[in-house]
Amino acid sequence: MAIATINPTTGSTEQTFEAHDAAEVERRIAEAQAAFVALKSTTYAQRGEWMRATAEILEAEVDDVARMVTIEMGKPLGQSKGEVLKCAKNMRFYADHAEEFLADEKLDDPSSVNASSAWTRYEPLGVVLAVMPWNYPLWQVVRFAAPALMAGNTGLLKHASNVPQSALYLDTVFERGGFPVGSFRTLLIGSREVAAVIEDSRVKAVTLTGSEPAGRSVASIAGAAIKKAVLELGGSDPFIVMPSADLEKAAETAVKARTSNNGQSCIAGKRFLAHTDIYDEFARLFAEKMAALKVGDPLDDATEVGPLATESGRDELAELVDDAVAKGATVLTGGTAPDRPGFFYEPTVVSGLTDDMRLVMEEAFGPVATLYRVADREEALKIANQTTFGLSSAVWTNDADDEAFFVKSLDAGAVFINGMTVSYPELPFGGIKDSGYGRELAAPGIREFCNLKTVWKG
């Protein structure tokens, strides 16, 4: 795939970039390795100072950076600004908490292991490769990079080929905050060049956020090289609405959960399961609110839904809907690509689903919701758990019994009650099943790329 910014609002190519050749990749890996040697002997206080300075740069540049992100991948400008500021917040979070998350832990009773004392300590692993997607071109990277650098690791970034400007911004921003040169380096390479980087002896681990096929490929290369991998892959999260829910609020949040980031979020509610007692009312509210969204130029403040990031992404989404319709599904609203330049698709709600439809089992990466009528909570759970994914989930209920049932039984990395899934620096984030393994954010996120060293003293 060419490394280029193609503006999804207009469909025109804004800028293309030469891929780094083998010599440049080698130079950058060497730089990251040299930076690791320098960084690992610095203190948390020093790294925290640099991380806070980096956060300040992002905050100062929020307007320009957000505009760049919107032009590159099409999300509404206000959401791009939110993403930039969230990155800064995450940087401050790890600047404040890294030392506490990675503190030594003493064994209370060392005599049980015949020692005078015994403890564990966390040590950085070294250079970590991050293979990242375009949907949150800054946030996906920073949620890895901030804890990694605070732990004393250094990072290499292979970003998605359609967000090179975001990738190059990230190439320098940590250095500008004061981190040693090379602490974070972008590699402008295609996905075929990833294997050689993972296999390089200086690279100690890899994290990938992206699709399931990419995850399988990267994890098997890392597995063969006996290197740690963290995988944050796709999702098809259920959003369950029970009779005791506040329906107006549930429908409003359902729309946001499905269309935020133009519907291209791994943790978006994608399958909406409404109890039969409230199905008709919920379906009406949901379809009405989806139809009322303002679709348009993401640089326009009034726009709520912009284009899909790529033409192929828009075409694949349309194929999923067309396949469902051909097999008998009902479109409650939307269902077509508007006749205008750019990669737009209307906010869509589809009901009347059957298991032979691709839309039922595959991830719809755009503003398309599937809506199910369920007889009871058991049926809701069965449909919720029937995909191969297990990222997150949402349940709307004011019944304590229903709440306990779903919290315990949903096969997912998270359950959000009376809300939509959102990532927070303070909460661990990640999935099960084909949604991947490992956790980002909070304390588990910073520990993923550390050696947990046991110390025994006689």
Which helix (H) or strand (E) segment holds residue 370: the answer is strand 368-374
Interacting span for ligand NAP (CB under 6 A) from 15-23, 30-38, 109-117, 214-222: 214-222
Cβ closer to ligand NAP: 72 or 403? Answer: 72
Binding to ligand NAP in span 385-404, by CB under 6 A: 391
229 binds ligand NAP (CB under 6 A): no
Binding to ligand NAP in span 345-384, by CB under 6 A: 363, 365
What are the C-alpha distances in Å from 91 to residues 87, 173, 346?
Answer: 6, 12, 35
Q: How far is the CB of 356 from ligand NAP (least distance, A)?
A: 22
User: Is 368:321 a contact under the CB 8 Å cutoff?
Assistant: yes
Q: How far is the CB of 378 from ligand NAP (least distance, A)?
A: 28
Q: What distance, in Å, lies between the first and last C-alpha atoms of the chain?
A: 58
Q: How far is the CB of 327 from ligand NAP (least distance, A)?
A: 23
Give the number of other CB atoms < 10 A from CB of residue 232. Answer: 28
Cβ closer to ligand NAP: 193 or 297? Answer: 193
156 binds ligand NAP (CB under 6 A): no
Rounded-to-integer distance, Cα 81 and Cα 67, Å: 8
90 binds ligand NAP (CB under 6 A): no
**Catalytic residue positions, numbered:** 232, 266
Q: Which amino acid is at 254?
A: A
Binding to ligand NAP in span 162-181, by CB under 6 A: none
Cβ closer to ligand NAP: 117 or 388? Answer: 388
Q: How far is the CB of 93 from ligand NAP (least distance, A)?
A: 17
Cβ closer to ligand NAP: 52 or 358? Answer: 358
Rounded-to-integer distance, Cα 104 and Cα 119, Å: 7
Binding to ligand NAP in span 401-440, by CB under 6 A: 431, 435
Q: How far is the CB of 271 from ligand NAP (least distance, A)?
A: 14
Interacting span for ligand NAP (CB under 6 A) from 85-93, 209-217, 243-251, 278-286: 209-217
- Backbone CA torsion sign across 376, 382, 387, 391: positive
Task: For residue 396, give the 3-state DSSP assignment.
Answer: strand
Identify the CA nearest to 31 among candidates 199, 183, 204. 183
What are the C-alpha distances in Å from 390 to residues 216, 345, 367, 385, 448?
Answer: 16, 26, 20, 8, 20
159 binds ligand NAP (CB under 6 A): yes
The residue nearest ligand NAP at its CB is 210
Identify the CA nearest to 219 among candidates 236, 234, 233, 235. 233
Q: How far is the CB of 216 from ligand NAP (least distance, A)?
A: 8
Rounded-to-integer distance, Cα 341 and Cα 7, Å: 11
235 binds ligand NAP (CB under 6 A): yes
Beta bridge partner(s), residue 437: 231
Within 177-238, where are the H helices? Answer: 194-199, 212-224
8 binds ligand NAP (CB under 6 A): no
> Which residues here bind ligand NAP, judged by CB under 6 A?
1, 131-135, 140, 158-161, 190-191, 194, 209-211, 214, 217-218, 232-235, 266, 363, 365, 391, 431, 435
